[in-house]
Amino acid sequence: MKTIISISEMQNFSERARLRKKTVGLVPTMGYLHEGHVSLIKTAKKSCDLVVTSIFVNPAQFAPNEDFVRYPRDIARDKKLCKSAGTTVLFTPEAESMYPKGYSTYITVEGISSVLEGKFRPTHFRGVTTVVAKLFLIVNPDKAFFGRKDAQQCVVIKKLARDLNFGTEIVVAPIVRERDGLAMSSRNIYLSPQEREQATILRASLLHAETMVKKGTTKTAEVVKEIARLIETKPAASVDYIAVVHAESLTELEKFEPGVPALIALAVRIGKTRLIDNTTIILH
Ligand code: AMP
């Protein structure tokens, strides 16, 4: 595995790969890797000749009151995980070269960036789509791999790739979970043991919602209310949002209906830690 820090060196590598007719897969991450990231790298390895994993804690996607400074970092451990998962190139650009002094170009996917997460983190997706567009231009990947854990992000990135004719196929991989169901996240390290236990309510409430729908509940408002009731049984939990939206357009749904993919997405603060999770239900 090769580590590249310089943007121009990464561009040269990508150009040479293209001349050698090698397919390139990109796995963008913010590091502090876990099994969720590892599964993306392994999935990329299966369908691409070369895998570029990027690690970049992107300042543009954090609001001033968020956890950019204390976001966990462990590059030595990340290198080992990247290598054993099958990464060809680990790309770790520096913030000063991604956003040099005077940088002023941003990319916004309008509409779908403003709902759900966008309501609570108004500048978040502008940062995500800007950095992903930059990474696509630098790496020029045939495919890029994203986790369903960030369901809205997947929808936004697909739209970005389509709208700007990137020609990169966006591949979405399933959520990887801890044994008790908590979705893996670099931020889980922030949780105290008591909070960690209470955090299992996110997945448990989503499973309960799935059962309600399977048993015949059709009104989304009823399901949302029940999820909220379950989450509120945990003293450390406070809900940012619980929403049921069309899985592709992200427009709100009033009913679960056959053939309509419904995304139940939620964001919950457990103590000071903000966690997200989701599930998609398709009735037949
Ligand atoms: P992050 O480092 O949190 O920006 O995540 C990098 C990529 O890994 C994103 O595409 C995430 O959706 C994905 N990812 C994060 N956690 C998980 C998980 N538990 N399961 C699957 N993919 C994940």
CB-CB contact of 44 with 145 (8 Å)? yes
Output the CA 125–ligand 1 centroid distance in Å. 15
Residues 134 and 190 in one domain: no
- Residue 61, token pair as written in the block: 């996607």
Q: Tell the residue nearest (CA) to atom 14 of ligand 1.
A: 147
Per-residue pLDDT of 132-168, as tens digits, reads 999 999 999 999 999 999 999 999 999 999 999 999 9
Residue span of the structural domain in which 254 resides = 186-281
Query: What pLDDT does 69 receive?
Result: 97
When pLDDT is averaged across residues 110-128 and rounded to a whole number, the result is 98
Residues 21 and 60 in one domain: yes
When pLDDT is averaged across residues 17-32 and rounded to a whole number, the result is 98
CA distance 100 to 92: 15
Instruction: List the CATH number of the domain containing 208.
Output: 3.30.1300.10
When pLDDT is averaged across residues 62-87 and rounded to a whole number, the result is 98
The total number of structural domains that make up the chain: 2
Residues 141 and 241 in one domain: no
CA distance 48 to 167: 15
State which amino acid sits at residue 34. Answer: H
Give the other-Cβ count within 10 Å of 73's Cβ. Answer: 13
DSSP 8-state assignment for residue 177: B
Top mutation candidate among 146, 172, 182 for ligand 1, by most atoms within 8 Å of CB: 146
CA dihedral (136, 140, 142, 144) positive or negative:
negative
Output the CA 169–ligand 1 centroid distance in Å. 17
Query: What pLDDT does 258 receive?
Result: 97
Q: Within 13 Å, how many C-alpha atoms sit on residue 180's CB side? A: 8
CA distance 31 to 54: 8
CA distance 260 to 161: 24
Per-residue pLDDT of 170-219, as tens digits, reads 999 999 999 999 999 999 999 999 999 999 999 999 999 999 999 999 99
- Structural domain includes residue 180: no
- Structural domain includes residue 99: yes
Query: What pLDDT does 140 receive?
Result: 98
Per-residue pLDDT of 34-56, as tens digits, reads 999 999 999 999 999 999 999 99
